[in-house]
Every structure is written in C-alpha cells, then in structure tokens.
C-alpha cells in the first residue's frame, strides 16, 4: 500500500475550506488485511485516486469513506470550515456513484431522485431534478421507468442523483462503468468541475482516470 502525492493541488486562492483527514485507517476481514494504517489528508480542490487489482479493497475503502461500513481501526474526519462533520452532516455533503447503488426499476427516474432525496433528508425540487436529468444527457426521459433504462443510462442517472444536492465531496467507484464516449466525456467534465469546488475520491484502474489524481493510494 503506497500513498503518492503529485503535490500539485491548489486551494483555489480562497483558503482551505473542506478537507478529509484519514488517520491510521485499517480494514481486515478476519485474517485478510486489505489496508493498514492509511494516514493521509485530502485537501480541498483535489482528486484522490484509489488503485489496486481486483479484490484489493478499493470498494471497501470507498464504503468506509462514505460511512457505509466501519473500519477495523482508525478514523475518517470530514472537516468544513474547521468543523468536523457529524455523520448526518457528512451524508449531506457526500455524493456517491457506485455499482453498489441500486436504483428502483419500478419508479421513474424523477421518482427515484425524489425518493432517495427524502430518504437522505436532502432537498428536492422538480426543477432541480429536470436540470440534473438534462445535465447528464437524459432530458425528456425523467418520467420513464428506470427499469426501461440501459446500463449506461442508469449510470448517468446515478450522477444526476449524486450531484443533485451539489455535494462538497464526490465519491466515485468505477466512474465510467457502462458509459459510451459521450458519457465518458461527461464524467471528465464532472470531475474537473468538482475539483474546482470540492473533493473527488475515486476508485479506478483506468489510466485516463488515474491521471486526474493529485494523490493516489495503491492497495496491494
Ligand atoms: N462483507 C465482506 N465480508 C468478507 N470479505 C469481504 C466483504 N466485502 C469484501 N470482502 C473481501 O474484501 C476484498 C476486497 O473487496 P473489494 O470489493 O473492496 O475489492 P475491489 O478492490 O473493489 O475489487 P474490484 O476491483 O474487483 O471491484 C475481497 O477479497 C472481498 O472478497
């Protein structure tokens, strides 16, 4: 396990507002150690990439980042304007795109957005939902059942959901999974845009995506 820093992250000229502090983070399933004592600070306006072979622990790392599963030991703090976020505040500041995220096939896209916003206690308006559907290239498809969507459309839909509340921290597991060329270009824009205003934490082995990383964590 190696943490590399390209040391080229800027703080946008307006000071450090958001950061993620990972301290002595370890995860093991029984005797299988995935990572041990990861200590790193992810600064504002930067991209953090997690690399590693299949089964190395990338998804597990991201799940811990999102508070979905516990670490074996160690700590992850999200800090905005000097305040450590509570778990509820953390959820409001996170957007997640992951193969694990299951949309409801028997709800329309807009209903999915509304449902998940309610579940997470996040704001929802139909105008914002329409804006996001258009942004991800699904204009006019918001009232179709998600069960009728292709896999690439579902992936785009996950971006609409993740970005709906303009999170400070965007967590991406296999960001371009199932996407065509236009979709890949969309993700490129999303990552660059997010980097201008917050943090991206992503797991990938795609060289193009790895090259976005200001810091990389290689899990062996
Ligand atoms: N709930 C669990 N209980 C036991 N072992 C688990 C559990 N979840 C994951 N693992 C194991 O932890 C290891 C890491 O899994 P993980 O999904 O994080 O890997 P990954 O790097 O994301 O892999 P991939 O590139 O294939 O997506 C694997 O060996 C997996 O079998």
Q: What spacing in Å lies between the alpha carbon of 155 and ligand 1's midpoint?
A: 21
Q: What CATH number does residue 113 fall under?
A: 3.40.50.300
**Does the residue 10 lie in any domain?**
no
**Does the residue 1 lie in any domain?**
no
**Does the residue 151 lie in any domain?**
yes
Whether the per-residue pLDDT at 5 is higher than 80: the answer is: no
- Ligand 1 site, residue 98, Cβ cutoff 6 A: no
Residues 101-138 have pLDDT tens digits of 999 999 999 999 999 888 888 889 999 999 999 999 99
Range scoring the smallest mean pLDDT among 47-51, 117-121, 191-195: 117-121
pLDDT of residue 177: 94
- Ligand 1 site, residue 112, Cβ cutoff 6 A: no
- Ligand 1 site, residue 60, Cβ cutoff 6 A: yes
- Which domain does 78 fall in, by range? 16-218
pLDDT of residue 213: 95
* Tally of structural domains, the chain: 1
Six-digit token pair at 219? 């899990």
Q: Over the chain, what is the mean pLDDT?
A: 91
> What are the backbone angles phi and psi of residue 102, rounded to the nearest 5°?
-100, 125
pLDDT of residue 7: 43
pLDDT of residue 67: 93
What is the C-alpha to C-alpha distance for residues 110 and 63, in angstroms, rounded to an integer? 25
Read off the pTM.
Answer: 0.92
**Does the residue 2 lie in any domain?**
no
Question: What's the helix, strand, coil split of the chain in %, to 5?
Answer: 35, 30, 40
**Does the residue 3 lie in any domain?**
no
**Does the residue 170 lie in any domain?**
yes
**Does the residue 5 lie in any domain?**
no
- Looking at this predicted complex, what is its ipTM? 0.97
Give nearest CA residue, ligand 1 atom 2.
Answer: 29
In whole angstroms, how far apart are CA 161 and each of 65, 104, 157, 158, 174?
A: 18, 12, 6, 5, 16
What is the C-alpha to C-alpha distance for residues 122 and 60, in angstroms, rounded to an integer? 25
Six-digit token pair at 176? 């371009």
Q: What spacing in Å lies between the alpha carbon of 14 and ligand 1's midpoint?
A: 39
Three-state DSSP at 113 gives: helix
**Does the residue 124 lie in any domain?**
yes
């Amino acid at each position: 396990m190696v943490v590399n820093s390209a040391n080229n992250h800027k703080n946008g000229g307006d000071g450090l507002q958001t950061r993620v502090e990972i301290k002595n983070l370890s995860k093991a399933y029984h005797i299988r150690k995935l990572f041990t004592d990861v200590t790193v600070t992810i600064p504002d306006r930067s991209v953090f990439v997690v690399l590693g072979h299949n089964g190395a622990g990338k998804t597990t790392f991201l799940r811990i980042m999102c508070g979905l599963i516990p670490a074996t030991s160690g700590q992850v703090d999200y800090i905005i304007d000097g305040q450590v976020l509570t778990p509820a505040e953390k959820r409001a500041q996170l957007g997640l795109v992951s193969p694990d995220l299951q949309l409801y096939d028997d709800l329309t896209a807009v209903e999915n957005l509304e449902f998940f916003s309610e579940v997470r206690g996040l704001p929802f308006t139909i105008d914002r939902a329409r804006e996001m559907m258009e942004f991800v290239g699904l204009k006019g498809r918001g009232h179709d059942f998600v069960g009728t969507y292709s896999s690439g459309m579902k992936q785009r839909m996950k971006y609409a959901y993740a970005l709906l509340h303009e999170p400070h921290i965007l967590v991406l597991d296999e960001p371009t999974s199932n996407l065509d060329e236009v979709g890949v270009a969309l993700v490129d824009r999303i990552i660059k845009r997010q980097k201008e205003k917050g943090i991206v934490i992503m797991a990938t082995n795609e060289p193009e995506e790895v090259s976005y990383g200001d810091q990389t964590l290689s899990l062996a």
